[in-house]
């Protein structure tokens, strides 16, 4: 038999149902790999080994009973350290929250538990989830397993590093400006940012402008669709509720997408951004592959212009202020976080509201362009994975922030619009570094994205060409 970590999440769930594998055996396998490999990878900030084994024993007993089993029984799924898991420490990526223990579960954590998953630990995230790289004062940097000198991205950097290194079969992440798709790209994974309002942030985290959402990171489309199916829900008090999907997410994996009209655009909205030749090679490769599958791929005008960037920045500055920090602990904040919060506290309420209004108006006009297509193809990021420390090898936090913007100018557009978007791990450089491309879908239509993603995955073959990093 293959190693346990060679199996997909769905294959592990089936092995548990058929009693070929025990949840305890699966959990011990991953805990051993984490202990051995994670000091190099930096995927986890908190490991919950005892709790995980207790959950695995309960799952094993349930599997032996054999009736009405949850869909992902016995499958280890880590939780990002921006999400609350009752009685487990949560840092939010910040040294200012050391010693804080979550008082309740996030509702998405409850959904994953109800689906039978095993919570093996909390994955690393940058401070308050703000940067697109995962380097903090509370845990080692998260590194892409394809080259351990390079960043795993962020803010779901730990989650992506864990899946790419075979430390978890799949993971829960979240995405406020590309935080699922960016690390999926630099770690060679499939990630879904769902439609705004598809997954609740209840009971504590506000949805406010609707930029952020939870979502899955996985090696395969089917695993991601299965996770999305159990994560999708709403709770009383949610400000946004996505329209019902016309097709179930797991059903969409095996459904033919039909011939799609796909618009493509590789013009970054952020001034000064330059798209690396390797990224353009991935973009052209994806275009040709989609055309070979029978889709119409046409160049489209950019749906947004650079005027939206300063308005989005105002929201980002203000959201940096959402986590309360004791003034005596502010010296523990990283320089970038202090700079972002200073800008946020200096932004007036009318300025914030006007920025929100301007972005909504821009989105309405953007949809006039994007709704002419079934999907939109762009690069995910502008460069191959960058070295750990690259974003901060300048003394000025403002320059660090602008480097982030130039690195990931494509992803945040779909947080503004609320559309679903996925990263397809289709290309590797000659040096073996992964580069993803992004497909965005119509509002509420994750199903079409999942269907065409599964079609592309099948055309490429295996684990996206049967690629695995050396430490696998």
Strand partners of residue 192: 422
Catalytic residue among 80, 122, 193, 314: 80
- Please indicate whether residue 80 is annotated as part of the active site: yes
Q: Are 155 and 180 in contact (CB under 8 A)?
A: no
The DSSP bridge pattern shows strands 190-193 and 213-218 to be: antiparallel
The yes-or-no answer on residue 314 being catalytic is no
Between CA 146 and CA 211 the distance in angstroms is 30
Cα dihedral: 454, 456, 457, 459 (round 10) = 120
Please report the DSSP string for 67-133 in residue order. Answer: SS--TTTT-B--EETTS--TTSB--TT-GGGTT-B-SS--HHHHHHHHTT-B--EEE---GGG-SSS
- Does residue 155 have an active-site annotation? yes
Cα 145 to chain centroid, rounded: 16
Give me the half-sphere count of Cα atoms (radius 13 Å) on the Cβ side of residue 68.
1
The single residue of 179, 229, 245, 273 carrying the catalytic annotation is: 179
Residues whose CB falls within 8 Å of the CB of residue 52, separated by 6 or more in sequence, listed in order: 27, 31, 76, 118, 119, 120, 121
166 C-beta neighbours (distance < 10 Å), count: 23
Angle at 317 between CA 314 and CA 319, to 5 degrees: 105
- 3-class SS of residue 170: strand
Structure tokens at 330: 């502010």
Catalytic residue among 22, 107, 142, 155: 155
Classify the C-alpha dihedral 303-309-310-315 as positive or negative: positive
Q: Is the peptide bond before 35 cis (omega within 30 degrees of 0)?
A: no
Q: For residues 97 and 376, what is the distance between their CA atoms, to the nearest angstrom?
A: 39
Catalytic residues: 80, 155, 179
């Amino acid at each position: 038999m293959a190693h346990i970590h060679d199996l997909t999440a769905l294959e592990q769930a089936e092995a548990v149902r058929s009693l070929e594998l025990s949840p305890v055996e699966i959990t011990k396998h991953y805990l051993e790999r984490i202990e051995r490999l994670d000091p190099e990878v930096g995927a986890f900030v908190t490991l919950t080994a005892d709790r995980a084994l207790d959950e695995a024993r309960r799952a094993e007993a349930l599997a032996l009973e054999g009736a009405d089993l949850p869909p992902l029984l016995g499958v280890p799924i880590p939780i990002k350290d921006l999400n609350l898991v009752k009685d487990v420490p949560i840092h939010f990526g910040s040294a200012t929250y050391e010693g804080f223990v979550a008082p309740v579960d996030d509702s998405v954590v409850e959904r994953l538990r109800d689906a039978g998953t095993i919570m093996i630990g909390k994955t690393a995230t940058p401070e308050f989830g703000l940067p697109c790289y995962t380097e903090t004062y509370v845990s080692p940097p998260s590194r892409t397993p394809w080259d351990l000198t390079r960043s795993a991205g962020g803010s779901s950097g730990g989650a992506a590093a864990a899946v790419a290194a075979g430390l978890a079969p799949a993971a829960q992440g979240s995405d406020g400006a590309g935080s699922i798709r960016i690390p999926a790209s630099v770690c060679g994974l499939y990630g879904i940012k769902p439609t705004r309002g598809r997954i609740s942030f209840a009971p504590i985290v506000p949805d406010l402008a609707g930029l952020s959402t939870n979502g899955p990171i996985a090696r395969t489309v089917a695993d991601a669709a299965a996770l999305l199916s159990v994560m999708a829900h709403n709770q009383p008090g949610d400000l946004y509720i996505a329209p019902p999907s016309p097709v179930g997410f797991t059903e969409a994996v095996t459904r033919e997408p039909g011939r799609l009209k796909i618009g493509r655009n590789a013009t970054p909205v952020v001034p000064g951004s330059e798209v690396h030749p390797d990224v353009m090679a991935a973009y052209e490769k994806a275009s040709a592959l989609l055309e070979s599958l029978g889709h119409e791929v046409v160049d489209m005008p950019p749906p947004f212009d650079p005027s939206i960037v300063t308005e989005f920045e105002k929201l980002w500055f203000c959201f940096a202020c959402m986590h309360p920090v004791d003034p005596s602990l502010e010296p523990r904040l990283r320089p970038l976080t202090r700079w972002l919060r200073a800008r946020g506290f200096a932004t007036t309420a009318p300025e914030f509201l006007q920025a929100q209004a301007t972005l909504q108006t821009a989105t309405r006009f953007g949809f006039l362009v994007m709704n002419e297509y079934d999907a939109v193809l762009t690069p995910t990021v502008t460069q191959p994975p960058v070295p750990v420390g690259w974003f901060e090898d300048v003394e000025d936090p403002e320059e660090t922030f602008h480097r982030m913007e130039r690195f990931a100018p494509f992803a945040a557009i779909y947080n503004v619009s609320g559309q679903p978007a996925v990263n397809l791990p289709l290309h590797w450089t000659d040096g073996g570094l992964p580069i993803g491309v992004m497909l965005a879908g119509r509002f509420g239509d994750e199903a079409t994205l999942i269907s065409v993603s599964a079609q592309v995955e099948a055309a490429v073959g295996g684990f996206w060409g049967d690629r695995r990093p050396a430490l696998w």
